[in-house]
Amino acid sequence: MMKQLTLTRPDDWHLHVRDGAVLKDVVPHTAERFGRAIIMPNLQPPCCTVDDAVHYRQRILEAVPEGVQFEPQMVLYARDNMTADDIYAAADSNIVRAVKLYPAGATTNSDSGVTDIRNIDQALAAMQEVGMPLLVHGEVTDADIDVFDREAMFIERILKPTVERFPELKVVFEHITTAQAAEFVQGADDRIAATMTVQHLLLNRNAIFEGGLRPHHYCLPVLKRERHREALLAAATSGNPRFFLGTDSAPHPQGKKESACGCAGIYTAFAGIEFYAEIFEQAGALDKLEAFASFNGPRFYGLPVNEESITLVREPWTIPDSFAFGDNERLVPLRAGETLQWRLQGSASE
């Protein structure tokens, strides 16, 4: 059994760190393990302009521990009024990497998202022109569509027509959860990729109802059936370079999760790479982890691979029941109080 695993420093291509006082609690978890992270812009108000992104990036950098190298990769939140000039400004900024499409009402802080994708056609054309990727939250929001079918329906109704209308637009289908999404990406050309989270590779929808209602297993898109998890795992470990790591770690205060109307989001950043090591090992595919975590993302984004490396050691440890989250809140992580097999060498929690 392998005791130690050295990898090129990985990146997290889908991450929520929020803003304000909580940054100092969550950013170090990511910065210790990952060289870069794509920072989701669904703040309140959302991060919509280059100016917003410059200031948000600065606040994130202030929360990075001394001596740690970490580069937040900023993303603009698309609204109906996004223009081609917004994209040209983003491309010139050197700090904005991508644009995020939240269909209005699909998830946390998506109220000012896009109400009809055709409203941002000018921006999409400019993105296609400058090579800036569109990151999609791929769920339709129609009330008559079953919550478990929203991703599959998005592929047919929105994604396929859009990639046909913009044949060179780069698209990252974020946090895919279904066999249909994996198949769509496998059958698409090189400009289409997907991220996969810890929770969608590790759990199926039974985990939401295991012995009672489990709010810490609730995220969007919601967990799906086992056959979908198996299809995602097969895709992640297939060696296809268009699948890569994106935790979608999405912290919410404990009280907002354990509530009569709980928020969607699962916190995994504290062991972002360790969870994937466990998942790939259980699938007998540890040899595929480095490409998924460290090579495929930069290749798609046209960025260099990180130069440093990290080492994971097989040293089971107990995940804390909660972490500090701002001045008065707690943050409950995935698998709180349970054991994780891999530990990051030299981490603060060692």
Judged by the rule CB under 6 A, the positions of this chain that interact with ligand DOR are 16, 42, 107-108, 137, 219-220, 250, 264-265
Among residues 126, 57, 120, 122, the alpha carbon closest in space to that of 94 is found at 57
Active-site option among 144, 248, 321, 327: 248
Structure-token match 């056959």, residue found: 227
Q: Is 25 in the site for Zn ion (CB under 5 A)?
A: no
Contact 183, 209 (CB under 8 A): no
* Whether 248 is catalytic: yes
Among Zn ion, ligand DOR, none, residue 108 binds (CB under 5-8 Å by kind): ligand DOR
Among Zn ion, ligand DOR, none, residue 265 binds (CB under 5-8 Å by kind): ligand DOR
Sign of CA dihedral 201, 149, 174, 165: positive
Segment interacting with Zn ion, rule: CB under 5 A, options 60-68, 157-165, 243-251, 304-312: 243-251
**Min separation Cβ 155 and ligand DOR, Å:** 17
- Gyration radius (Cα) of the chain, Å: 19
Segment interacting with Zn ion, rule: CB under 5 A, options 76-84, 199-207, 218-226, 240-248: 240-248
**Min separation Cβ 9 and ligand DOR, Å:** 25
**Min separation Cβ 265 and ligand DOR, Å:** 3
**Min separation Cβ 329 and Zn ion, Å:** 20
Report the residue number, 25 or 290, with the smaller CB distance to ligand DOR. 25
> Would you call 214 exposed, middle or buried from its count of C-beta atoms within 10 A (0-12, 13-18, 19+)?
middle
For Zn ion, which residue of 32, 248, 278, 329 counts as binding (CB under 5 A)? 248
Structure-token match 């917004």, residue found: 86
Alpha-carbon distance values, 136 to 1, 45, 61, 98, 102 (Å): 39, 19, 25, 10, 7
Alpha-carbon distance values, 5 to 69, 152, 270, 287 (Å): 21, 36, 18, 10
Residues that bind Zn ion in the complex, under the rule CB under 5 A: 248
Question: Active-site residues: which are they?
Answer: 248
